Amino acid sequence: MTHALVIENLTKRYKDFTLDKISFTLPQGTILGIIGENGSGKSTLINTMLGIIPSDYSRLDILGRDLKTKPNEIKSDLAVIFDDAGYDEYFTPLQIGRFLSYVYPNWNMNMFRSYLHRFGLPAKKRLKTFSRGMRTKLEFAIAFSHDPKFLIMDEATNGLDPIFRDEILELLREFSEEENHTVLIASHITSDLDKIADYVAFLHQGKLLFFQPYDKLQNEYGILTCKNSFLCNLNPADVVFYRKEEYNCRVLVKNRFALAKIFQDMEILPATLEDLMLFYTKGEKLK
């Protein structure tokens, strides 16, 4: 199987922050969600991975090509959407489209026009009249119109209304299912990632806490709600973290199906990505 991304020991040191020996392998045709609190290193990982900022690593392959020796071949197969696009405010989408037809060998102007129409974007109005969400929509129209094999997004859906976000999630799902395309999304909107991620990478203070298939997370982790006094009945090996709340205690447990058999009268719900983030960053260990 060709991998969309192979990262081994990727390290970036700033004065007060280190992205520390990140390693994972992402299969082609999948959607990876990168989660983590503010400042955990998500953008740094994306920027180093794309060679935008220098870093150390023992291996970094994108779509089967080595970033050091084949950067240009890699770039033509990538679409990258950042929070802030940075196109000149005085251009219209049509002018940008004409310009991009010289940049991307596979640029499809008809497809671009049809995405502008689909996303309700005026083709002949200057970008300075566009709202933040409209600019992001334009970014997506551009990304889907040059036939990329790998779409990378850093907080790209943040300024979008829930209805358009849902449409984008649907488009991303179609995109990854067709022709083995791969998607990487760093986002704080973990509920979106719950809907579409095949893999999840969780960064915490520059370290990769885990890189796991989403289904495995769903099958493994659960949330058990109980009285504080019930905690002593749990085996610490089954408890990842717990959080005491006003009246109850919420516990992030492992092996949720096995535990559900033992505690049959208790509900153990699957953990969402937001739960995992909260427990891993704010939870307590059971001793």
Ligand X SMILES: Nc1ncnc2c1ncn2[C@@H]1O[C@H](COP(=O)(O)OP(=O)(O)OP(=O)(O)O)[C@@H](O)[C@H]1O
Residues lying near ligand X in the complex (CB under 6 A) are found at: 14-15, 17, 36, 38-44
CB of 148 to ligand X, least distance (A): 22
**C-alpha span between 63 and 6 (Å, rounded):** 9
For residues 77, 82, 84, 87, the Cα torsion angle rounded to the nearest 10 degrees is: 0
**C-alpha span between 57 and 279 (Å, rounded):** 30
Please identify, using beta-carbon distances, which residue of 38 and 229 lies nearer to ligand X: 38
Please identify, using beta-carbon distances, which residue of 189 and 240 lies nearer to ligand X: 189
CB of 56 to ligand X, least distance (A): 16
**C-alpha span between 246 and 267 (Å, rounded):** 19
**C-alpha span between 55 and 53 (Å, rounded):** 7
Neighbours of 40 (CB within 10 A): 24
CB of 38 to ligand X, least distance (A): 3
Interstrand relation of 207-213 and 199-204 (parallel, antiparallel or unpaired): antiparallel
Please identify, using beta-carbon distances, which residue of 152 and 251 lies nearer to ligand X: 152
Please identify, using beta-carbon distances, which residue of 35 and 141 lies nearer to ligand X: 35
CB of 168 to ligand X, least distance (A): 19
Please identify, using beta-carbon distances, which residue of 54 and 105 lies nearer to ligand X: 54
Please identify, using beta-carbon distances, which residue of 16 and 246 lies nearer to ligand X: 16
Within the chain, what is the greatest distance between any pair of CA atoms? 67
Of 225, 217, 208, nearest to 274 by C-alpha is 217
CB of 204 to ligand X, least distance (A): 10
Tokens read off for 251: 């516990």
Please identify, using beta-carbon distances, which residue of 53 and 266 lies nearer to ligand X: 53
Of 180, 176, 179, 178, nearest to 197 by C-alpha is 176
CB of 144 to ligand X, least distance (A): 24
| Main-chain phi, psi angles of 61, to 5 degrees | -110, 130
Neighbours of 49 (CB within 10 A): 20
Radius of gyration for the alpha carbons in the chain, expressed in angstroms and rounded: 21
Contacts for 36 with CB less than 8 Å, ≥ 6 apart: 42, 202, 203, 204, 277
Please identify, using beta-carbon distances, which residue of 41 and 222 lies nearer to ligand X: 41
CB of 93 to ligand X, least distance (A): 27
| CA 15 to chain centroid | 26
Tokens read off for 234: 């749990």
CB of 203 to ligand X, least distance (A): 6
